[in-house]
Chains A and B, each alone.
Chain A
């Protein structure tokens, strides 16, 4: 009996670890697919404003969306502008969250270069202070996922909304792997 209990506990730990470790199999395209939209601003790690506006989902057999992020850590602000959406995923550990992956162009400090990105958006109800946003880029930039607030501890504002599927919300079939969709970038 004790051995059985140990095995059950171990299995639970393995499952919990799989759900929280951000492994390659932890995220998948929701079925049916849906949409997430939102805009606002958060406070970056250096106290700077980071503004964003984004939407993502599936549409007519493809991934769909648009992402813009501006980080005031530089003057003028550096910004990411999406050029294609390559993935849209849900995380069973955070059912109100969706990740949008894609390619984009970053303009910062007079330079312009291509990146891949992964954005997390999470809708935790109204009025939006508990919603969360984060972004990771292939050049090493990361804004860890954080509340828009107030009342969140990090300040900021705005709102994120998770929408139900509509008649267009089919993604690619078969769905690419998480690594293919997000070019190996993990959730911010």
Chain B
């Protein structure tokens, strides 16, 4: 299996189209936040360490919920988390914060171990960040340390949206979905080709 996966990985990588799936809410679904009596900003922000859709059932681990107010930053965390039969992880953490001129969101976890369609995926640490600054192009950043897929070490690229096709799986590393007013950053996005399993590890959304 390792050799097969290695061969597929060596053959890598198609660039994803614009139709990449989104787990978090569409960034165009914005909330209006009155910051002062004279200034109205529209903020979007959310982060989650894990969001999985398996056979139509959605499970989230360490999910901040939706940012609604610049004066109400949201954060959550848990020492360990698991979705039976799918994955386990440690030190799950998510936070989203707004300002009058920007939104920043961040999600991270450690010691990821998961199995999707019989393929083992592991990572020592994963982090995603999204930053939307008023008047500027939103930006994303991911850290993926110690990633292995099918027992083969994978070095994530510096560039976003690297897609791997592996024996029934679609894997996107550093997925960044830009919209008119924001960005969704998914550190690791794994889907089975039959569409029955869709997992995002480290998701951060920011828009203004």
Surface stretch bound by B, among A8-16, A56-64, A91-99: A56-64
Q: Considering the complex, give the chain A residue whose CB is closest to the CB of B146.
A: A157
**A152: CB under 8 A from chain B?**
no
Q: Does A37 contact B (CB under 8 A)?
A: yes
Chain A interfacial residues counted at CB < 8 A: 40
Docked-complex contact B143 and A49, CB < 8 angstroms: no
A35 touches B129 (CB 8 A): no
Assuming the contacts A49-B111, A164-B99, asked whether A70 and B79 have C-beta atoms less than 8 A apart, the reply is yes
| Residues from chain A with Cβ under 8 Å of B30 in the complex | none
Q: Are A68 and B129 in touch, CB under 8 angstroms?
A: no
The reply to whether the CB of A101 lies closer than 8 angstroms to some CB of chain B is no
What's the Cα separation between A127 and B145 when bound, in Å? 12
A35 contact from B73, B91, B127, B141, Cβ within 8 A: B73
| Known A40-B143, A159-B143, A166-B71; contact A66-B93, beta-carbon cutoff 8 A | yes
In chain A, what residue has the closest Cβ to B123? A157
Q: Residue B145 contacts which of A38, A60, A158 (CB distance < 8 angstroms)?
A: A158
A37 vs B95: C-alpha distance when bound (angstroms) = 8
Assess whether B79 is in contact with A167, with CB atoms less than 8 Å apart. no
- B124/A68 in contact, CB under 8 A: no
Partner of A166, one of B62, B99, B145, B146: B99
A3 → chain B closest CB, angstroms: 52
Query: Do A41 and B127 touch (CB < 8 A)?
Result: no
Docked-complex contact A167 and B110, CB < 8 angstroms: no
- Minimum Cβ distance to chain A for residue B87 (Å): 15
Q: Is the CB of B73 within 8 A of A64?
A: yes
Residues of B with C-beta under 8 A to A64: 73, 75
Contact, CB under 8 Å: A81 / B106: no
Quote the shortest CB–CB distance from A175 to chain B (angstroms).
19
Contacting residues, chain A, for B90 (C-beta < 8 A): 51, 70, 77, 79
Min CB distance B62 to A, Å, is 8
> Complex Cα distance A101/B204, Å?
26
Contacting B at CB under 8 A, from A145-188, are 157-159, 161, 163-164, 166-168
B125 lies within 8 A of A157 (CB): yes
Given A37-B106, A79-B80, A55 and B91 contact (CB-CB distance below 8 Å): no
List A contacts of B80 (CB < 8 A). Answer: 70, 79
Bits for B60-102, please: 1 = Cβ < 8 Å to A, else 0: 0010000000111101111110000000001111010111100
Given A41-B124, A68-B91, the answer on whether A55 and B146 have CB atoms closer than 8 Å is no
Q: Let me know if B108 and A53 touch, CB within 8 A.
A: yes
Contact with A along B38-53 (1 / 0, CB 8 A): 0000000000010000
Pick the residue among A51, A57, A80 that contacts B125 (CB under 8 A): A51
Those of B155-202 within 8 Å (CB) of chain A: none
Report 23 cross-chain contacts, Cβ distance below 8 Å, ordered by A residue: A37-B93, A37-B106, A40-B108, A40-B125, A49-B110, A52-B91, A53-B109, A55-B77, A55-B93, A59-B73, A60-B71, A64-B73, A64-B75, A70-B110, A77-B90, A79-B90, A107-B79, A158-B110, A158-B145, A159-B108, A161-B106, A166-B100, A167-B99
B residues with CB within 8 A of A: 35, 49, 62, 70-73, 75-80, 90-93, 95, 97-100, 104, 106, 108-111, 124-125, 127, 129, 141, 143, 145-146
Given A107-B79, A158-B125, A159-B141, 15 further pairs, Cβ under 8 A: A39-B91, A39-B106, A41-B125, A59-B73, A65-B75, A68-B92, A70-B110, A77-B90, A79-B80, A81-B77, A126-B141, A157-B125, A158-B110, A158-B143, A167-B70
Give the 6 A-B CB pairs with smallest separation, nearest first. A53-B93, A39-B108, A51-B110, A157-B145, A51-B91, A168-B71
